[in-house]
Structure 1
Amino acid sequence: MSISQKFKRAASWGVLIGAWAGAVVQAAEFPDKQVTIVVPYAAGGFTDQVARAIAPVLAEKWGKPVVIDNRPGGGTTIGTALVARAPADGHTLLLSSLGYLTNPLMMPRLPYDPQDLKPLMMVSESPSVLYVGKQVPANNLAEFASYMRANDGKVAFASSGVGSSPHICAEMLASAVGAHIIHAPYRGNAPALNALMGGEVAALLDAPSSVSYVQAGRMKVLGVASDKPVRSALPLTPFSQSSAPELKPYSCSSFFGFFMPAKVPAALQQRIYRDLRAVVEVPSVADGVTRPGGELHLLGPEDFTAYLDAQRPRWAAVIREKHITQE
């Protein structure tokens, strides 16, 4: 090896060691200013409640303010784009849900490059619960499946928007039953719930926390799309225990997790992940995260990425079959 080649190799190693050392120092000093958690949904919703359960304890741990920035609109693309374009210093995080996974499948022109974001930590998973209006002549899953087939193309399902988990889960249920539905999108879960309780629509697939309205006599609950125990104020029949064979395999849930700009140094990513996980594992925080109706499901960057990769084909198949698009 010539002296010139040795010099070039030494210089390359120097650059690499310098970059590694810089990333370690950055991780050690983080945060040095306010941290923002961008929630691409309106305040008061499920994702927002999860963020607000975490932020105060995270701020206490870091000794810096942690603020929630609600950026609804565009099917979550407005808030997501904001984080994708944020400086790669770890001070801007995204807490999102199914839209992160499905928007690239539904939107031909995204206002951001999905490659500019990296999964950081999955926090929780919320199984879908089937709620129906009091006017619907069905009191269990099998009766509702028969009702859907007898009224093919006439049963209206509310959702929090085109391509939302209540929308896609409803289309999956229709396919399982062998019927077609009317999709009635609203601007969020609260208006969708009001539409159901007001008799405007027949059904809604929503979080377990909405059973409080069942207790108040404003709607009925028929089952939960999960084969695992679900924390709820009322007993929930798993679809796997339905007397309708076509519904036994049906399951549908939504995830909630953190993302960050992909160019954040690996050492800093790991530091933020470890701190986030430690905070979510605090019992009071875990209770706040699950109270809206989710179940803790903590995954690190690699496992969260693998989870999303495994889920993507299933959602893609429904989106293609039902021609679900957002322009």
Structure 2
Amino acid sequence: MKTVRSTFLSLLTDRPAGHVPRIAATARRAVAVAALAASAALSATAQTTPNVPGTPFPGGPTTLIVPYAAGGLTDNLARALGQRLAERWGQPVVVDNRAGGGTVIGTAAAARATPDGRTLLVTSFGFTANQFMVPNLPYRQSALEPLAMIAVAPAILFVHPSVPADDVPSLVRYMRTSGKPFSFASSGNGSSPHIGAELFASRIGVSIVHVPYRGNGPGLNDLVGGQVQGMFDSKAALSFVKAGKLKALGISSLKPSALAPDLKPIAQSGVPELATFTTASWFGVLVPEATPKPIQNRLYADIRAVLDMPDMREAIDRAGVEPLPLTQPEFAAYLKSEAERWGPLIREKNIKAD
């Protein structure tokens, strides 16, 4: 702005009188340039300054890539988040389901996206596990940067009523002495319920029969029907416990959880080998790594503001997960610790994604 203004003044003072018409025309052009520069500066400020009321951000439609099918938990959380961000920004927010390849297809699309803050990845446990389960990933793990955690979902250990165990210690005794492997259902090879079951069995020194399904629903149906003996699943399956069709033996958080306050954490069950046992699905937002930091700051601030809204907290509660507000560095540290926990187990058990 100062350079444009100086040019305009020099045109008025340094030219001879016979050049006045040309000076006037040039001056008008200079004023126009100044106006455009001011407009651009205001636009840039509006897109990078956090918490400016009524600011249109990020300057056009935003896409939330979800590497899972529509209707699942990650998709539902993404849609709840997107709706409220659209209202906050006054801009469209579109959920783009790119399921397939064990989340690889959607994750790769997000990693290749233009790093302008208008394409975000809303993902879950598969982002952590795939780096160990999928050879030759079509993206670098570091190509996506952790932005904001949405929630976590500690798993509940369910068994069929025919299993002679009413708590974790009695289940461990049964699994160790029955003479045959215990069967665990899961939502698919390499899924969080699968790896959680493998960790449980590894800690107590037994083998299991893993029975993968295409999603939690079919696995849960077979558990209720007695075709399999156990499963790690979400709070939603507690309805089968109330109906007497399943037993819930413990929850996989280290401390008591508000999701199921009546359930004792598996880590506090009194089995020494399980004293640090924990497994959970996480749900969070990542951005392409080259996204400018001011834009990341604005995105983070707005996502955190949305997550603090009462109706968003209700949506998170209805989904059967717990909000987990973390700063960007805390979220990055969380994902690093998840990789350190699951990587060795995945390699040891040679677990491969579907």
Residue 8 (structure 2) aligns with: none
| Aligned pair partner of 1:250 in 270, 277, 287 | 277
* Greater alpha carbon shift after TM alignment, 232-241 vs 195-204: 232-241
**Counterpart residue identity of residue 318, structure 1:** L
Query: Any gaps of 5 or more consecutive residues in structure 2?
Result: 1-40, 50-55
| Aligned pair partner of 1:27 in 41, 48, 62 | 48
Q: Does 1:269 align with 2:296?
A: yes
| Deviation, structure 1 residue 212 | 1.7
Equivalent residues of 2:85, 2:306 under 8 A apart:
yes
Say if 1:43 and 1:217 are closer, same or farther in 2 by CA, change over 3 A: farther
Q: Equivalent residues in 2 for 1:195-214 (5 A)?
A: 195-214=222-241
| Deviation, structure 1 residue 271 | 0.6
**Counterpart residue identity of residue 27, structure 1:** T
* Greater alpha carbon shift after TM alignment, 166-175 vs 83-92: 83-92
| Deviation, structure 1 residue 277 | 0.5
* Greater alpha carbon shift after TM alignment, 81-90 vs 163-172: 81-90
| Deviation, structure 1 residue 152 | 5.4
Q: Does 1:293 align with 2:320?
A: yes
Aligned length: 308
Q: Equivalent residues in 2 for 1:20-169 (5 A)?
A: 26-27=47-48, 30-151=57-178, 154-169=181-196
**Counterpart residue identity of residue 242, structure 2:** Q
So what's the TM-score if we normalise by structure 1?
0.88
Q: d(CA) in 1 for partners of 2:210 and 2:226? A: 15
Q: d(CA) in 2 for partners of 1:66 and 1:301? A: 22
**Counterpart residue identity of residue 257, structure 2:** V
Equivalent residues of 1:155, 1:182 under 8 A apart:
yes
Q: Secondary structure at the match of 1:308?
A: helix
**Counterpart residue identity of residue 57, structure 2:** F
Q: d(CA) in 2 for partners of 1:326 and 1:190? A: 18
| Aligned pair partner of 2:207 in 180, 199, 206 | 180
Equivalent residues of 2:156, 2:232 under 8 A apart:
yes
Residue 345 (structure 2) aligns with: 318
**Counterpart residue identity of residue 218, structure 1:** K
Equivalent residues of 2:160, 2:226 under 8 A apart:
yes
Q: Does 1:227 align with 2:248?
A: no
The C-alpha deviation readout for 1:113-147, integer Å capped at 9, x for no partner, is 22221111111111111011122221111111112
Equivalent residues of 1:35, 1:65 under 8 A apart:
yes
Bigger CA radius of gyration: 2
The C-alpha deviation readout for 1:159-194, integer Å capped at 9, x for no partner, is 111111111110110011210001111111122212
| Deviation, structure 1 residue 315 | 0.7
Q: d(CA) in 2 for partners of 1:182 and 1:301? A: 38
Q: d(CA) in 1 for partners of 2:90 and 2:150? A: 22
Larger relative contact order (CA 8 Å, sep ≥ 6): 1
Q: Secondary structure at the match of 1:74?
A: coil
Query: Any gaps of 5 or more consecutive residues in structure 1?
Result: 1-19
Residue 25 (structure 2) aligns with: none
Equivalent residues of 1:23, 1:265 under 8 A apart:
no
Identity of aligned residues (%): 46
| Deviation, structure 1 residue 246 | 2.8
So what's the TM-score if we normalise by structure 2?
0.81
Q: d(CA) in 1 for partners of 2:44 and 2:244? A: 56
Q: d(CA) in 1 for partners of 2:108 and 2:214? A: 20
Q: d(CA) in 2 for partners of 1:278 and 1:201? A: 43
CA RMSD of aligned residues (A): 2.1
Say if 1:56 and 1:143 are closer, same or farther in 2 by CA, change over 3 A: same
